[in-house]
Copies of this chain bind each other. A is one copy, B any other.
């Protein structure tokens, strides 16, 4: 956990009792012919690096090893606040405990010294959906289910397909016809049965629920299965812990079906209910300009009215979000706001996250950062506030990129060629 890392690193040796900083006491050089030479001075060994490989030695002893590994159960750390009876966890893929990244480069780029990125792209299938999948499948395993099903725009489907494979369960997945091919291939690789529904995502969602009831399948559907909300709220618990058990000023979250944002709000409400926090963070919800039913309802008042999605951000292309009403309540209660971002802004945010922070996000995964820019311009957020941006899905699974920044040159192994390529190196 990045917060823990940062804290630990910042604390330094003082808090690392019995741990000596690593100082090589010598080195062996292994030459290509297999012969070895021992050096006591490292400079001498390093000078031979081009002839062979340098291997450091240390003053070995039991005190160089850390104390026994702590309980690092990721999401299951919070099982007292999850709908889960006693007994061992059966689901085999570790989930949760994702990094909270403090990126100096991103902080400079955005001009916010206390900006954090909750990097949910580090789950088993690269999205925050993996938390919900884990809890739902843990329930399915305990219930003795054989088949699990869901409807999805892509990320939930990949998460369930791969999670079901890990759990030894059969997955039947309903997707809209225009599902991203890269995600479809992963579902099939994991052995899932995929049903493309001609009528689109919202119909697939309602229909898959009917099919699950008819055929007796275990239903993972976000918004219908309360476990998805319970699992995703652990993101709020982790943010709070990684910030040293404090609540940030603002959290920025994308809105697709609405469960990710609403689960964050529930998590922070429960921290207050447990007496661990005094207030909610302001929650800023982000939709794509090409699919903003919640934003419209937020501005107009009244219930959420369905729209037809038109955005590259398939992860949040939900025209009739099942959790629209709770999202409006949660944003209002937190003193937050709902904003919309263009596809171009999301593409730009993908580039910024990659080049300034080293975080690889898909359009929906970068929507929150794009939304932060909008919120800053609108004066909804001050640059000196402590803000956490959610990166929800990885670029690796869904490579939709802006114009690529890095240059490519084809050269011969010749220094002058390199000098020319780099414009004088």
Contact = CB atoms under 8 A, between A and B. Distances in A.
Contacts of A81: 22, 58, 64-65
Interface in A17-33: 19-24, 27, 30-33
A113 interface: no
A123 to B, nearest CB: 9
A136 to B, nearest CB: 14
User: Main secondary structure on chain A at its contact with chain B?
Assistant: mixed
A27 B103 contact: no
B12 A53 contact: no
A76 B22 contact: no
B22 A80 contact: yes
Contact of A94 (B2, B56, B63, B83): B2
A222 to B, nearest CB: 10
Contacts of A382: none
Interface residues of A, number: 169
A88 B49 CA distance: 28
Contacts of A19: 79-80
A49 to B, nearest CB: 5
Contacts of A394: 396
Nearest to A350: B189
B1 A69 contact: yes
A315 interface: no
Nearest to A407: B193
Contacts of A210: 415
Given A9-B73, A93-B358, 15 more contacts: A1-B69, A5-B74, A9-B88, A21-B80, A22-B82, A49-B225, A55-B326, A60-B275, A65-B80, A92-B103, A122-B124, A188-B404, A189-B404, A194-B408, A198-B413
